[in-house]
Amino acid sequence: MKREKFGSRLGFILISAGCAIGLGNVWRFPYITGQYGGAAFVLIYLLFLLILGLPIMVMEFSVGRASRSSVALSFDRLEPLGTKWHWYKWFGMAGNYLLMMFYTTIGGWLLLYFVKMAAGNFKGLDASGIKNEFGELMQQPGIMIVCMIIVVAACFAICSIGLQKGVEKITKVMMLMLLALMIILAVRSVTLSGAGEGLAFYLVPDFAKVKEAGLMEVVFAAMGQSFFTLSLGIGAIAIFGSYIDRSRSLTGEAVCVTVLDTCVALLSGFIIFPACFAYQIESTAGPSLIFITLPNVFNHMAGGRIWGTMFFLFMSFAAFSTIIAVFQNIISFATDLTGCSVRKAVAWNIVAIIILSVPCVLGFNLWSGFAPLGEGSTVLDLEDFILSNNLLPIGSMLYLLFCTSRYGWGFKNFMFINMHAGNVPIIGQLCREYQRSSGIKCAQIDWWRFTQPNSVGICENTGWMAHGHASECGTSVMLYPVSYTHLRAHETRGNL
């Protein structure tokens, strides 16, 4: 089955950014920035984005482009013979499902709060009334499950339409509206009376605050945020490398996605901190910052109902962009592994995601006695801990080793696929497929690039010759040992 591609470069950038942009940008980033010293933390975070986040994103894109598949098959196709890198695919796929097990619940909360704010349900409520509103919601599993199901069904419906007509078309509109809403809200926030103190906290570094919080703790928090905000380590980004046209530079695209993601995170700080300082709100309030503190701020703001509705609309867009992108990845797992249709993959996964998301909902009410990480913790905290503190950093390091180690894909191959554009048949992969089908053993096959429609070349460090013919309908490759007097040919035809 021919693999879909994006219809435009803008679509690729916005959808890849949509996967990275989410609650990690608009809630977690302001929260931990406030907790770890403001502007000084931002500088450390930006450093880690540059030295770790950006390079690993390029590596994920490269693995996706080279394998032309999701994490479900990418390591199988690129790993050296006899190695076990492909074992990680199960952890990568599990990470995507784990993320959705709590992300869809929070997406349901945001959608409900958008409706509540638009309907004026918070009008006239004081701080305790708004707090009780959120507390009552947590004790209503039925409403939360219904909202979660709406989010899951809507986002999978978009994915079922297809990559270009569904995911790309709708996400482009959603992301552009998100950026416009954020700019409007940021301008409104920085013009509030008393916003100057919040801007100073956010923009003027004070490393004494870093020392107070603990230097190593701040460093680890900044590094963790750089992985979390870009959704690195579980193949959520690699899948988009498999869709992008080969004429595009992966480093350039990764820079665009990272810059856009960082701009959204920084813009969220311009929304949150001036408003918090203007209304004497604690900026380290955590989850309550969105659902308890900010609705109270909007109640005291002129035109607050309108601003509050816009805020929760933009929060919903941020969450939905990530959900749609990860759902697209989950659908690719099914189509890559089983060859089933997109609609069949959607049908099975709607049921699976809804069932897997129920424990997160019940953790706030019927299962509230279960405190996996200590008193006051919930199922959501456990799921977030497994993903954010384990799978994301471990997976990121694995991609780094896979792309740089001679025991993995190798730095030479990584640089080749990253630096060269055009139609690049993967001869190493085809040689391995030939070995499996013929039983003839051969040495490690390096990459070979056909620069002309018809070309012949010797695979480096082997006794194998490859002849390739590229045409509009696909690529035909003949592989045979040069030392054989007779030709033992194996032809692989497909759209590479």
323-380 pLDDT per residue, tens = 888 898 899 888 888 888 888 999 999 999 999 999 999 999 999 899 998 888 899 9
User: Where in 288-425 does DSSP place strands (E)?
Assistant: none
Helix (H) / strand (E) element for 107: namely: helix 88-119
The answer to whether the predicted template modeling score (pTM) of the entire model surpasses 0.95 is: no
What is the per-residue pLDDT for 165?
63
**Cβ neighbours for 264, distance < 8 A, ≥ 6 positions apart:** 17, 21, 25, 26, 178, 179, 182, 318
Q: Which of 109-113, 328-332, 409-413, 454-458 has the highest mean pLDDT?
A: 109-113
Query: What is the tens place of the pLDDT at every residue in 216-241?
Result: 888 888 888 888 888 888 888 888 77
**Cβ neighbours for 184, distance < 8 A, ≥ 6 positions apart:** 310
Whether the CB-CB separation of 133 and 122 falls below 8 Å is answered with yes
Helix (H) / strand (E) element for 456: namely: strand 454-458
* Segment 109-130 mean pLDDT: 88
With a cut of 90, say whether residue 446 has pLDDT above it.
no
**Cβ neighbours for 341, distance < 8 A, ≥ 6 positions apart:** 335
